[in-house]
Structures are given as structure tokens and as C-alpha cells.
Amino acid sequence: MPELKCKDPVAVNLWYAIAPLEDVKDARVQRSVLLEQPIAYTRNDAGDVVVWAYEGRPGDAPGDRALPVKERFGYFWTTLGMPERDIFPIPEYEEEDRRNIHAASFGVNASAPRLVENFLDMGHFPFVHTDILGAEPHTEVKEYFVEVSEERDEILASNCKFWQPMAAASSSGGADVDYIYRVPHPFCSVLYKSSPLDDGRNDVIAIFIQPFNQEQVRVHMLLSLLDDNSDDTQIRLFQQTIFGQDKPILENQYPKRLPLDPRAETPIRADKSAIAYRRWLSGKGVAYGVIPPSA
Amino acid sequence: MLKLYDYELSGNCYKLRLLLSFLGVQYRSELIDFYPGNQHKSPDFRQINPLGQLPVIDDNGLVLRDAQAILVYLASKYDPSNRWYPRESPELLGQISQWLAFADAITATASAARLHDGLFYSEIDVEAARAGAHRLFRVLDEHLFFAEEEGQDWICPGEHPTIADIACFPYTVLSEEGGISRIDYPAIRRWSDRFKRIPGFVVMSGVFPAGPAATDRRQAVA
Ligand SMILES: N[C@@H](CCC(=O)N[C@@H](CS)C(=O)NCC(=O)O)C(=O)O
Ligand SMILES: [Fe+2]
């Protein structure tokens, strides 16, 4: 392995989603970047996805620079280090009646923690996703619970409620929607929201962020829905419309890296999960994409 | 009903959604999975547009491609006021065509940079695309500045905006997604604020409505 530019051992020793499996169908060599390390990937003759630290030589091949690969949730994942833990579970993904759809992978000029924090924030719905995920005057973020599960090492925000004009592609009108958010990985988050078509069950939306560097990322968006009505394109484009609205907001946040200093916290209710997230990152010693608390 | 082969994040499709909304024309969007599905390159879609590009319309069997060409058609057909594309004025038609071609050059540069950064079109030379967009924005900004000096609000002379404004608007206001800052183009900023206040204006993902503070042009210039 070449020497890594990323010096944050926490970030190095994580698993990252790199591309949807449907994008790695043949022997074409594709390139990307993870934590400033150029990587390449392809499907080999045996039919397996192979990933390696790329050096750009003609005929560059994995050799001793091959990286570990796992296939999970329709993507392949890799790591530059030696993760102690497996990729977090999303049990719903395996349920037989779900539609599991890769919505898109988008490049964003923002840090990974800024994306996670935006994903957790319900307060922006009426203003950024007007008439879809929120609308005035329904702007209040009601009291919700946040806990850090020691056992699973993840943040859980529950009992979140929000009135939404059009919660999903399958919605037929406004509804009070219940949300649960998980942050099971410093740069991934999974949300559960009431399904418009299946009472009592949840649609699942996950973001898996692949940091190119500390201020530029690629975000992979997975949908796992209970929806027999919409076609894949409608479902995909609904999610892309939402994300396209977030993108300029994300790219205009300053500083680009997420400040972890407790004095940078704003104590409003909507930010309760954000505060938990920042503290959790601090506690883990995550240094990538953040401004660490000053000693 | 008029059918628009549409993709939400496409600025070229947005040009047509804008005009159709300004004119109050009903239409149906046929959603195309441009990304990541690449549906516009599929054999089926190439039957509709052999160039494999969006947008395309189908108006009662008339199939047209190219955003600028479609703007000309829709304004000629569905704008009885004749203001968006004033067919009786050769001078204006010449100027509108000039800026429609300019709009295509904005697509080739500013939109290309946005595709590179957002959707990983890695074959694009993003530095060249950004530099090209800056050259165009400099030209547009100066043009709009001198127009303002003459008391004009829009790209082509007259009281009313034309399809030239519509064609230039989307990829100009989306340029930051391709790493192209508009900080040095104040006349473009004022023009895009005026554009957002045209009755019937609609947004697309990545474009926000005009702020509440109506900026009076003459104050802003002073
Ligand atoms: N001159 C054409 C350009 C259209 C264009 O670039 N469309 C994009 C989508 S916004 C596209 O389909 N690109 C695919 C390609 O050019 O291969 C127009 O203005 O409609
Ligand atoms: Fe959002």
C-alpha cells in the first residue's frame, strides 16, 4: 500500500460504499477516490468485484495493492485500513416485499459530516423542500428522543414527527409522518419514515458517503420502500429532486468542515440530534471532515 | 396533450418547464431516468431523439428536440401576446437567435462542469469548461450592465422578457454546482433576481425563489 494522505485512523479503518453493483458489470476498469487515495475497480474473470489502490501505471492491476471488498445493500464496499467491525446492519433490506433501489450517487462539494447533519435535520423541510417534505406554517420540530446505543455504537433519534405534503413518490396527500434516524457510521445514516402505502411499516432511506477528501464527497442513496405503485424511475427521480434541493445548501455551508467545538453548538430543539452527532464524532476522535475541538 | 420528455435536474428541460408555466400551457412530463439509468442513450429513446439528448417534446405527433428550438416553437404557437418571441420584428428575432446560440454555449461549458462535479462525467475537461463559462458570463454581465444603463431589464431590448432570457437562465444560476462562482457578475445577479419575479416563475431543484427584499435596480446600481 502507498502511504495514505488521510492521517485519521478512525476514518481509515471504516468500510465505505464505492459504487452500486449494477455499475460494475464488466471488466472495464473504473476509477474513483477514497480519502484522497485514488482507487480503481472492476469485475474480474471469476465474476468478483476487485478494488485496488491505483497508481496510474499502464495496465495498472491489483497486485499487492488489492483492497478488501464486501457486497452489501446493492453496493460494494471497501476500506483502506483494517476495520474492527463489520458494516452495520439494515435488516429491512432483506424483507421480501421491499423495493430496494439505488437512487443515485451524487458528487457534492461539502464535507461528509455536513451531509449527515443535514440528513438528520427536519427543521429545513418547509424551507428547502417546500410543498414536498414540508410547508409553512407547519414548521415546528416537535420534541423527540436522542440516544446513543453503546452496544451498537450508533445514534438513534426517535419519535420525530413532521407534517409533510408529499412524503414519498407514492403519497396521495399531506400526512403526519413519523421518523426514526440512525447514525451507525460516522459518514452514513439510515432513516425510517411512515410508509404512505403500508400502515405501521416504514420506508427506509440510507445515505452512504464516500469522502473524496475532507471537503468533497460522493453520496450513494439507497431506497428500500414499500411501494407497489410507482415505477423505479418515479421513485428514483423523487429522491433526486429532494437531494437536488439540498445540494446548493450543503455546498454553501461555512466552514465546510463540521466544527466539533461545543461552543459552536446552537441549542435549539431541531439541533438535538446534530449535537449528539457532533459529540459522538468527538468521542470517537474522528478528525476527517471536521474542525476538532480546540484543546 | 403536449408531452415533455423530462428530467428534473436538467437545466435544458427546465427551460421548457419555465416557458410552459409562464404561458400557462398544460403538459405532461414523461420522466426519463437520465441518471444513473442513462435512459436517454437507450435504443428506445434514440428512436425519439437519435442524438440521445433531453429535452424532447411531442406535440400531437410533432416531435422536436433541442431546448432552444422548442422554445421558438412553443412561444410561436402558444403565446398569443407575441411577446416572448416577437415574430414581427426582424431586429429582435436576430438578437434572440444570437442569444439562443449563446445559451447553447453556456450549456456546453457551465452545464458540462456541473455534470462533471455532480454526476461524474469524468471525460469532461472541467478546467476548460469553467474557463469557458467565465468568458461567457463576462460577456453576458457586460451586456446586461449596458442594457440596464439604457433602462432595459432583459437580454433583448423591450419591456418584456423573451425566450433568450429563458434560455440563458438555468445553467447560469446553476453554475455554482460546477464550481463556477458568479461573485464577479453583479449585473447577472440583478437580472436573475428580476427573472425570478416574472409571474409564473417556477423553481427546479437547485434554484431558489427570489428573496423577499425586492431589489430596485436603480438603487442596486447606484
Ligand atoms: N442543444 C441541446 C443540448 C441538450 C443537452 O445537452 N441535453 C442534455 C441534458 S440537459 C443531454 O441530454 N445530454 C446528453 C448528451 O448530450 O449526450 C439543447 O439545448 O437541448
Ligand atoms: Fe433536505
Which residue does chain B place closest to A31, by CA atoms? B122
Residues B38 and B111 in one domain: no
Residues B103 and B180 in one domain: yes
CATH number at residue B128: 1.20.1050.10
Q: Is the CATH number of domain A9-78 2.40.33.20? A: no
Higher pLDDT, A140 or A19: A19
What does the pLDDT average to over A18-45? 96
Residues A160/A178, Cβ–Cβ less than 8 Å: yes
| A268 has pLDDT over 80 | no
Edge-to-edge, what's the strand order for the sheet holding A217-225? A99-108, A217-225, A202-211, A188-194, A175-185, A154-164, A145-149
Predicted pLDDT at A26:
93
Flag whether B150 is in a domain: yes
Cβ count near A2 (within 10 Å): 10
Which contacts qualify for A37-40: CB closer than 8 Å, 24 or more apart?
Answer: A37/A2, A37/A4, A37/A5, A37/A6, A37/A80, A39/A67, A39/A78
Which residue does chain A place closest to B39, by CA atoms? A233
Let me know if B199 is exposed, middle or buried by CB neighbors in 10 A (0-12, 13-18, 19+): exposed
Q: Could you list the mean pLDDT of each consecutive 10-residue stretch along chain B, which spans 222 residues?
A: 98 98 98 97 98 98 98 98 96 98 98 97 97 98 98 98 98 98 98 98 96 51 35
Give the minimum alpha-carbon distance from B176 to chain A in angstroms, rounded to a whole number. 8
Question: What are A184-239's pLDDT values in tens digits?
Answer: 999 999 999 999 988 889 999 999 999 999 999 999 999 999 999 999 999 999 99
Are B37 and A108 in contact (CB < 8 Å)?
no
Set of chain B residues whose Cβ sits within 8 Å of the Cβ of A109: 117, 179
Instruction: Give which of B32, B30, B26 is closest to B1, Cα–Cα.
Output: B26
Whole-angstrom Cα distance, residue A132 to residue A242? 8
Last residue of a domain, one of B78, B99, B119: B78
Residues B144 and B50 in one domain: no
Kindly give the number of the ligand 1 atom that is closest to the alpha carbon of B107. Answer: 6
Tell me the pTM.
0.93
User: Cis link prior to A293 (omega < 30° from 0)?
Assistant: no
CATH number at residue B24: 3.40.30.10
Are B35 and A240 in contact (CB < 8 Å)?
yes
Flag whether B168 is in a domain: yes
Residue A265 pLDDT class (50, 70, 90 cuts)? low
Kindly give the number of the ligand 1 atom that is closest to the alpha carbon of B10. Answer: 10
Q: Domain count of chain B?
A: 2
CA of A242 to the centre of ligand 2 (A): 6
Beta-carbon contacts of residue B24 (< 8 Å; ≥ 6 apart): B200
- Mean pLDDT is lowest, of A30-34, A194-198, A240-244, B38-42, for A194-198
> What mean pLDDT value characterizes chain A?
94
Residues A218/A209, Cβ–Cβ less than 8 Å: yes
Set of chain A residues whose Cβ sits within 8 Å of the Cβ of B7: 237
* Phi (first) and psi of residue B117, to 5 degrees: -75, -40
Q: What are the residue boundaries of the structural domains of chain A, listed by start?
A: 9-78, 91-291
Question: How many CB pairs below 8 A link A and B?
Answer: 58
Ligand 1 and B166: CB distance under 6 A: no
Residues B110 and B33 in one domain: no
Instruction: Give which of B8, B126, B27 is closest to A242, Cα–Cα.
Output: B8
Residues B57 and B103 in one domain: no
| A269 has pLDDT over 50 | yes
Predicted pLDDT at A271:
84
CA of A241 to the centre of ligand 2 (A): 10
Which CATH superfamily does the domain covering A91-291 fall into?
Naphthalene 1,2-dioxygenase Alpha Subunit; Chain A, domain 1 (3.90.380.10)
Range of the domain at B142: 90-199
Higher pLDDT, B35 or A56: B35
Give the minimum alpha-carbon distance from A247 to chain B in angstroms, rounded to a whole number. 7
Predicted pLDDT at B115:
98
Ligand 1 and B114: CB distance under 6 A: no
Ligand 1 and B107: CB distance under 6 A: yes
- Mean pLDDT is lowest, of A63-67, A126-130, B151-155, for A63-67
Instruction: Give which of A21, A13, A15 is closest to A73, Cα–Cα.
Output: A21
Question: What are A69-111's pLDDT values in tens digits?
Answer: 999 999 999 999 999 999 999 999 999 999 999 999 999 999 9
Assembly ipTM: 0.92
